[in-house]
A and B are shown apart, each in its own frame.
Chain A
Amino acid sequence: MKARVVVTLKNGVLDPQGKAIEGALKSLGVAGVDSVRQGKVFDVEVTGADAASAKAQLTAACEKLLANTVIENYQIDI
């Protein structure tokens, strides 16, 4: 089963890399970009009986390693 986990910084956490990318887009003349936040994407192959159990496994993966929940949120799509 294929799944995608997206990890993003929580609102209010300073994202200097996102800010730098935002500045670069502006200097390239890309119009209409108000702000940029950078995150991480994990494409994961999971063995699970059903989507619910796969999601439970991936939640454990996020809580244990993939996300630092002090500063990051995660979203799981199966």
Chain B
Amino acid sequence: MKAAVIVFPGSNREGDMARALEQATGKKPAMLWHADHELPAGTDLVVLPGGFSYGDYLRCGAIAGRAAIMDAVRAHAARGGLVLGVCNGFQILCESGLLPGVLMRNANLRFVCKMQHLRVERSDTAFTRQYAKGQVIEVCIAHGEGNYEADDATIERIEGEGLVAFRYCDAAGVIGGAANPNGSRNDIAGVYSEKRNVLGLMPHPENLIDPLVGGIDGRALFASLASAA
């Protein structure tokens, strides 16, 4: 598994992401700058980390979504290569057209930073094969604009094609109501591309890989990726 992490001006979770990837794969990922034009030869996985790329000016992820390196990321995804975007990385994937929909301001207008339960919607993808379908995991969220929205036809399509990766839920796995921290449509916390080789999610699995910080429920995602390629 050869991973590359793209760093944009304003990214701030790239270190956590690199640690999680190294723990799972035994290899340090390549760190790439947004102005680069090519991925290292043989890259299996491209990761867009969290943060505030370009200060979130214009819209979250809008300017990063058009950065020079994104053409290479789009080509990699079109070839079937794996792409993971977390938090601001998810926003960048939506703005770049690699995933449908958009992340809007949280419905309650508050920045939320807390532990959050998620339901794993399927366990047959490169990202989740080491989880069980329907498994409830606990990771953390930290975002002001994580309210997933798309038009009705798009929501119907992604639900119909099984492209919802994770939903916000409570400890018992029940979705809806107070278990939804930001107003996302259908409690959506993460979405796959059509071929399920691109995943964007708002929560931060890379921060739950060490018991020291309160849990290791994020490890299985990176272990799944490590065994995928």
Residue positions of A touching B, CB distance < 8 A: 13-14, 16-17, 20, 64-66, 68, 70-71
Contact = CB atoms under 8 A, between A and B. Distances in A.
A16 B109 contact: yes
Contacts of A16: 104-109, 147, 183
The majority secondary structure among interface residues of chain B is: loop
A68 B105 contact: no
Nearest to B152: A12
Contact of B102 (A20, A64, A71): A71
A71 B102 CA distance: 8
Interface string B181-223: 0010000000000000000000000000000000000000000
A59 to B, nearest CB: 16
B151 A70 contact: yes
A68 B149 CA distance: 12
Nearest to B63: A65
Contacts of B62: 65, 68
Contact of B109 (A20, A66, A71): A20
A69 to B, nearest CB: 10
A65 B107 CA distance: 24
Nearest to B106: A16
B94 to A, nearest CB: 8
Nearest to B110: A16
B101 to A, nearest CB: 7
Contacts of A66: 58
A65 B66 contact: yes
Interface of B: 58-59, 62-63, 66, 95, 100-102, 104-109, 147, 149-151, 183
A14 B66 contact: no
Contacts of B58: 65-66
Given A16-B183, A17-B105, A71-B149, 10 more contacts: A14-B149, A14-B183, A16-B104, A16-B105, A16-B107, A17-B109, A65-B58, A68-B62, A68-B95, A71-B104
Contacts of B108: 16
A70 B109 contact: no
B214 to A, nearest CB: 30
Nearest to B66: A65
- For the complex of A and B, the 8 pairs showing the least CB-CB separation, nearest first, are A70-B102, A16-B109, A16-B105, A71-B102, A16-B107, A20-B109, A68-B102, A68-B59
B104 to A, nearest CB: 7
A14 B107 contact: yes
Contacts of A14: 104, 107, 147, 149, 183
Contacts of B106: 16
Contacts of B63: 65
Contacts of B147: 14, 16
Nearest to A17: B105
B147 to A, nearest CB: 8
